[in-house]
Amino acid sequence: MEESILSVSSERAERRKVNPSKKFVKSAYVKSLREYNKIYNESVKNPAKFWGEKAKQLHWFKKWKTVFKYSKKPFVKWFEGGKINVSYNCLDRHLTTWRKNKAALIWQGEPEEDSRTYTYVELHREVCKFANVLKRKGIRKGDRVCLYMPMIPEIAIAMLACTRIGAIHSIVFGGYSAESLRKRIKDSEAKMLITADGSLRKGKPMPLKDKADSVLGKCRSVKNVIVCKRANIKVKMNKRRDFWWHEEMKDASPFCKAVEMDAEDPLFILYTSGTTGTPKGVLHTTGGYLVYVYQTTKWVFDLKDDDTYWCTADVGWITGHSYIVYGPLANGATSLMFEGVPTYPEPDRFWQIVEKYKVNVFYTAPTVVRALEREGKKWVDKHDLSSLRLLGSVGEPINPDAWNWYYNVIGKRKCPIVDTWWQTETGGILITPLPGAMPLKPGSATMPFPGVVPAILKEDGSEAAANEGGDLVIKKSWPGIGRTVWKNPKRYIDVYFSKFPDYYLAGDAAKKDKDGYFWIMGRIDDVVNVSGHRIGTAEVESALVSHKTVAESAVVPMSHEIKGQCLYAFVTLKRGVKKSDKLKIELVKHVARVIGHIAKPEKVQFADALPKTRSGKIMRRILKAIVEGKKDVGDTTTLADASVVKTLIREKEK
């Protein structure tokens, strides 16, 4: 009865469907399931035709010869023979249209009074100037440039300037430690570092340049450092090596021709943590990536010219690359960028910004939704959110409780929610609703984007039956797929193409229901085997969070003499709820009620905070180590707040 636990609780969820309103459908790009099915079937039958047509909407200096072909499996080439430039498509292409004076980037700083808007023509000018600064400092096509910056417009300007001259950017998230920065600079052999004096976090200046300085001595490849002023922190400048952004920009020319890049020339490297300690440098290339983020941004967010679009991610992770900068700008959209956090100065900051800029499309992570739900509805009710017409979610499965709150309290029951499943490696969104076409099922990322062919495989490689959990794979290539691991093609093959050699292995467990909806269950290693039952920890977490006292939870396996494994639940309570043993018992009972007795956590530990990456993902690897009583919980440098770990160890359940 392996699959029973996975289907019992989902059976109810699976039947619930939420349809988009007539008004939404009326203006949507794709208006019905029938229309989606038609587009989908054609895209899969003839991917070259489908992607070729989409690619034509961008500007190519020279058209491609073949839409796609394998050079040597699994290595693939998209739009071979084509010449294109990303910055040209994100900027120059709009300057000959009415969009030239449209807001491209609206930036809201953490202090309310700090904000800036760049029109397309203005952004183009800044990018050209900075591209000339790069050239002056000796940066050429193919060179790596490392960015270690706050969420300020200069990060987008630097990215676009790199793409303009064919330099490969490698963004290291500003929250990462100096040591993480060093590793990434070393692996990519970056010739330049672009950073800032510091960033602002909850009103406090946090050093960046100082942190970088502590390792730059060991980074021989870096010849120059460009420093932006942001946090008013005094920094040491090495005369021969370090230069101020604003000084370099003063006399830089605003004319810079965009380099004609081969479609398969490298665009950027983005490091992502793997199972080993060494992060993988995922390499994305030019033409395919741009076509993919262009088309997904347009259809998934149903983006229209008069929309103000806000993705709350940090530019330092893939969501920011694809859906703050490249996707929206390639569409000529207005993209909002926010420097701060959701709860500062008060827990209504996001809603205040939505009201201030009349945001229409809002894209965030489930962890943010849960954190703001925890703060209470009163913060939402202070603001007029009537401009919102579409909501998005990314990063983790969104549990039905958070989904309902997002839908009812934020979207006022009129905004579809696009639950978008994808990864750093996929470049863009792969499984997602097209919001005018798909009836939503809360908790499901629904269906594949046109051209994408996912499947659920069992260990022996055969396809799983409906509702049966297994490995999520993608059977056909798509233009946005990461092409290799930087300097390590073997690792690319090992990680993604060896368990099932013909398919891309996502590393997530998932299942597909009878209606063809995909349900992501979490990373493969988040599936726990309790007395022979496969239980997705996400499902137990979802049950816990559906209890009225619970704000957030993380469930991990713990070894158990009899059951093999059992479940250990970390639970964050809502504000004002009292911790008690009685409540623990009640929560365990609640899980039994929602899923069944076999899913009952063996232990419950209350935790005011959970170890999370700055992008909001709970680091279950660390929780597992804590639960197993390991002295060394492994690398904690990617955590937003490493002190959380000590508290959890101290308060561990016996």
In the complex, the smallest distance separating the C-beta of residue 241 from ligand 7RM, rounded to whole angstroms, is 33
Q: How far apart are CA 589 and CA 578, in angstroms?
A: 18
In the complex, the smallest distance separating the C-beta of residue 576 from ligand 7RM, rounded to whole angstroms, is 30
Q: How far apart are CA 88 and CA 41, in angstroms?
A: 32
User: In terms of CB distance, is 215 or 509 closer to ligand 7RM?
Assistant: 509
Q: 531: left (phi > 0), else alpha (psi -120 to 50), else beta?
A: left
Closest CA to 216 of 199, 193, 248: 193
- Tokens 């490297």 locate to 269
| Contact (CB, 8 A) for 472 and 463 | no
User: In terms of CB distance, is 258 or 318 closer to ligand 7RM?
Assistant: 318
Burial (CB < 10 A; 0-12, 13-18, 19+), residue 557, is buried
Given the rule CB under 6 A, which residues bind ligand 7RM? 272, 317-319, 394-397, 419-424, 445, 506-508, 520, 523
| Contact (CB, 8 A) for 451 and 295 | no
User: In terms of CB distance, is 87 or 424 closer to ligand 7RM?
Assistant: 424
In the complex, the smallest distance separating the C-beta of residue 490 from ligand 7RM, rounded to whole angstroms, is 21
User: In terms of CB distance, is 230 or 620 closer to ligand 7RM?
Assistant: 620
In the complex, the smallest distance separating the C-beta of residue 469 from ligand 7RM, rounded to whole angstroms, is 14
Residue 606 token pair: 């209350």
In the complex, the smallest distance separating the C-beta of residue 445 from ligand 7RM, rounded to whole angstroms, is 5
In the complex, the smallest distance separating the C-beta of residue 273 from ligand 7RM, rounded to whole angstroms, is 9
User: In terms of CB distance, is 188 or 319 closer to ligand 7RM?
Assistant: 319
Q: Is the dihedral of CA 169, 170, 175, 181 positive or negative?
A: negative
User: In terms of CB distance, is 265 or 396 closer to ligand 7RM?
Assistant: 396
Name the E strands within 524-637. Answer: 527-530, 533-536, 550-560, 564-573, 603-606
User: In terms of CB distance, is 230 or 621 closer to ligand 7RM?
Assistant: 621
Overall residue count recorded for the chain in this entry = 654
Residue 199 token pair: 């960033």
3-class DSSP assignment, residue 524: helix
In the complex, the smallest distance separating the C-beta of residue 368 from ligand 7RM, rounded to whole angstroms, is 13
User: In terms of CB distance, is 166 or 328 closer to ligand 7RM?
Assistant: 328
In the complex, the smallest distance separating the C-beta of residue 251 from ligand 7RM, rounded to whole angstroms, is 40
In the complex, the smallest distance separating the C-beta of residue 454 from ligand 7RM, rounded to whole angstroms, is 12
Distances in Å between the Cα of 490 and the Cα atoms of 275, 287, 311, 322, 477 are 15, 24, 34, 26, 19
Q: In what order do the strands lie in the sheet with 470-474?
A: 454-457, 470-474, 504-512, 518-523
User: In terms of CB distance, is 43 or 319 closer to ligand 7RM?
Assistant: 319
